[in-house]
Amino acid sequence: MSRATHGTGRIVAAGTAAAALLGAGWLGATWMRYGRNATAHLTPDPLLDRFMPDYEVREQHQTVVAAPAETTWAAARGLDLLGSPLVRAIFRGRELLMGSRPAAGPDRSFLDEVQALGWRVLAEEPGRELVMGAVTQPWKADVEFRGLPPEEFAGFTEPGYARIAWTLAVEPIGAGRSIFRTETRVATTDPDSRRRFRRYWTLMSPGILLIRRESLRLVRREAERR
């Protein structure tokens, strides 16, 4: 084996080891900070607070869009998340990792898709914010989502589940500009579900958060294109 090949092998091995250490560090940090949400830098959301004021996970992401709020809202409502190769790859990775069945269905918008899966609208401020919710067991290979009426969702305590609520929100910030924001909150219903979800979140949150960021990019791109 040549010296150059030897050197390349060492570089690849070192890079692989570094990636493994970074991955292990991410998983460890995610496990340790579970349930300890730093909220000082997050935008308050009174509409979401109505349904989940207390939570174990809170993730909020936002982007500035060079388009009016009504245009950004239309782009968010029509978001085609599965049109992204990155999102399809992440879903495929989950299928392989969890042993779940491949998702199949007609082409439709993200909101149409999640409602077909069982998510339910909890509240809406037309043109500004939409809150979706469901109770589920995401640690299972083939996940089912159970939508509940808004008045039942906040008080749901049946053991064995995670309550999940998330938003799409748009805020005008001046002539021709707006902010698109998405937030996800999770609360489990008993100690066993908390343990199960904590393991699931530690393992799967990198892909989930990448999907959230990809949704920002897709909405911003489509709104600015319009």
What's the confidence (pLDDT) of residue 205? 87
Residues 6+ apart with CB under 8 A from 200: 138, 139
Q: Which stretch of DSSP H or E encloses residue 159?
A: none
- C-alpha–C-alpha distance, residues 169 and 45, integer Å: 10
Q: With contact defined as beta carbons under 8 Å apart, do 125 and 47 qualify? A: yes
Our CA angle for 185, 186, 187, nearest 5°, is 130
- Summarize pLDDT for 155-171 with one digit per residue, the tens: 999 999 999 999 999 99
DSSP 81-133: GGG-HHHHHHHHHHHHHHTPPPP------HHHHHHHHT-EEEEEETTTEEEEE
The two structure tokens encoding residue 219:
């909405």
Task: Provide the 8-state DSSP code for 164.
Answer: E
User: What mean pLDDT do residues 63-84 have?
Assistant: 94
Residues 6+ apart with CB under 8 A from 220: 63, 65, 72, 180
Q: With contact defined as beta carbons under 8 Å apart, do 122 and 131 qualify? A: yes
What pTM, to 2 d.p., does this model score? 0.81
Helix, strand, or coil (residue 42): coil
Percent of the chain with pLDDT over 90: 62
What's the confidence (pLDDT) of residue 5? 47
The two structure tokens encoding residue 153:
């969702």
Q: Is the predicted pLDDT of residue 110 greater than 70, yes or no?
A: yes
Helix, strand, or coil (residue 177): coil
Residues 6+ apart with CB under 8 A from 129: 45, 47, 123, 167, 168, 169, 170
Instruction: Residue 72: count other Cβ atoms within 10 Å of its Cβ.
Output: 28
- Summarize pLDDT for 80-100 with one digit per residue, the tens: 888 888 888 888 887 777 766
Q: Which of 98, 99, 116 is nearest to 107 (CA)?
A: 116
